[in-house]
Chains A and B, each alone.
Chain A
Amino acid sequence: MFETAVIVETVVKAVIVVAVVAAMAGFATFIERKVLAFMQRRLGPMHVGPYGLLQLAADGIKLFTKEDIIPQNAIKPIFMIAPVVAATSAFVAMAAVPYFPEFTLFGYTIHPIISDINVALLYVMGVASVGIYGPLLAGMSSANKWSLLGAARAVVQMLSFEVVSGLSILAPIMLIGSLSLIDINDYQSGGITQWLIWKQPLAFVLFAVAGFMETNRAPFDTVEFEAEVVAGYATEYSGMRWGLFFIGEYANMITISVLVSIIFMGGYAPLGFIPGAVMMLLKVSFWIFLFLWVRAAWPHVRPDQLMWVCWKVMMPLAVVNILITGFVLI
């Protein structure tokens, strides 16, 4: 009986997370277009619905009804499965991420996390790395040189940022002594001064930069930069398969925003009169906004510059950070 309840609860939570995040990913496309437009003195989508809000529906209908083209020389099964890999890995990573503080609904305590495993951080990082198989498989099976270049860049980028994000996150883990995101969150529950961003500023910056690389966002969007590789790995995709890549990218953005908020910015700890859930929403919204803000402001870097900054600057800094943290701990 107890096990059935757990299974039902988990399934309901999973469905809610997927539904809400997919909807948020759709809405984020609208917000992105609006924010970018305002920053460039434009209006953005204005004609479909009030202030262009129904543009979402128009885009969705277009994606769903567009013909699903598979190129003649593409390796069909891999070509078809690649977007699914990208989207599922983005959503699976969310399984170990807590979103809100626990709350009681109808006398039943709900933990807004699908599975509180003790290696949550390792799990999230691992699954997010699996997500790179999406672009890799898509690029290699498309029979298109731009796709192949995009895939090559995806691998190069992943090899570079994985080291940085892994090493930079090591110092906070050494301080806390746990990989569970709930433990990490509870460690900083004593107000703003307890946030890890003050104790580990370098790790925070490095992890944030690596997060931008992981989500393929500007200024590190070498994988799908239009001016160089058309649309990179997604060149040959159309319709909902392309939409899955898109949803995966935005889901990744949300995951990274939640991770940074929890690890470095106090997570869902309440602040003064602001409840924890609202704090979490504010922080995640700020990070999503930062993703768009940076895209509007900064030029993108070349792949060689990206590798240069990862291997020659950020990785040594991360190692030095770990060293200093270790000495301080001893």
Chain B
Amino acid sequence: MTLNDFKKRDCSGDYIFFEGEKKSENSWEVFQRVVKRTLKGELFVGLWVVLREMIRFDIHTLKYPAEKMEMGPRYRAIHRLLRLFESGSERCIGCGLCEKICIANCIRMETRIDEKSRKEVSEYSINFGRCIFCGYCAEVCPELAIVHGVEYENASEQRAHFGLKEDMLTPIDTFRAKEQKEFSGFGALSDHADENVKKTPLAY
């Protein structure tokens, strides 16, 4: 869709406007309505619709534990800490912006100066009992280091199982296998966004 398509307010092509059926006033009109509805064959339209779906056999069931839903990049699930593609070292520079902006006060990081006199993040944890998944931390991060993942299966014995640095950081084996995916940015659209978007009908 181009910008002009969105600027065009007339959306009568795609939408069906239904004024409602006229109310019957006397018993003759009620009788007419009954006869009309009886002979209209709308019931057979209903039968055809479900039969068509059965013949088409376009099954939408997701056999959940075996198949999983693909989440869009906007989905805000358990956080991930990414590595630099060039060196494989952590992206996080320990600036503390995420800790500062977190409105639920659930991010906690500890930093120190390492032997090369560079700032290193020694501890990084998110308390997922408090986190409201607002996404501010990912939005504010200057290095795209902390991002939201798409992992939505968060059942465990302890909620701390997801929130420590070693849980969120891309494992070095995954990184070497080149399986770390770049975060497409906070609020990024999904791949098929253009196909799914439709104009909202506006009254003016």
Contacts and interface: CB of A to CB of B under 8 A. Distances in A.
Nearest to B34: A313
Given A42-B61, A43-B59, A294 B34 contact: no
Contact of A297 (B34, B50, B59, B63): B50
B5 to A, nearest CB: 31
Interface in B53-77: 53-54, 57-61, 63
B51 A39 contact: yes
Interface residues of A, number: 14
A38 B54 CA distance: 5
B43 interface: yes
Given A293-B50, A296-B50, A38 B57 contact: yes
Contacts of B54: 35, 38-39
B61 A43 contact: yes
A41 B47 contact: no
A298 interface: yes
B41 interface: no
Q: Could you tell me the dominant secondary structure of chain B's interface residues?
A: helix
Contacts of B129: none
Interface in A1-57: 35, 38-43, 46
Nearest to A294: B47
A266 B39 CA distance: 26
Given A46-B63, A298-B43, A41 B53 contact: yes
A220 B57 CA distance: 28
B34 A39 contact: no
B34 A41 contact: no
Interface in B18-67: 34, 43, 46-47, 49-51, 53-54, 57-61, 63
Interface of B: 34, 43, 46-47, 49-51, 53-54, 57-61, 63
Given A42-B59, A46-B63, A297-B43, 11 more contacts: A39-B54, A40-B50, A40-B53, A41-B53, A42-B61, A43-B59, A293-B47, A294-B47, A297-B47, A297-B49, A298-B47
Q: Which 5 residue pairs of A and B lie closest in terms of their CB atoms, listed nearest first?
A: A39-B50, A297-B46, A43-B61, A38-B54, A297-B50
23 contacts: A38-B54, A38-B59, A39-B54, A40-B53, A41-B53, A41-B58, A41-B60, A41-B61, A42-B60, A42-B61, A43-B59, A43-B61, A43-B63, A46-B63, A293-B47, A293-B50, A297-B43, A297-B47, A297-B49, A297-B50, A298-B43, A298-B47, A313-B34
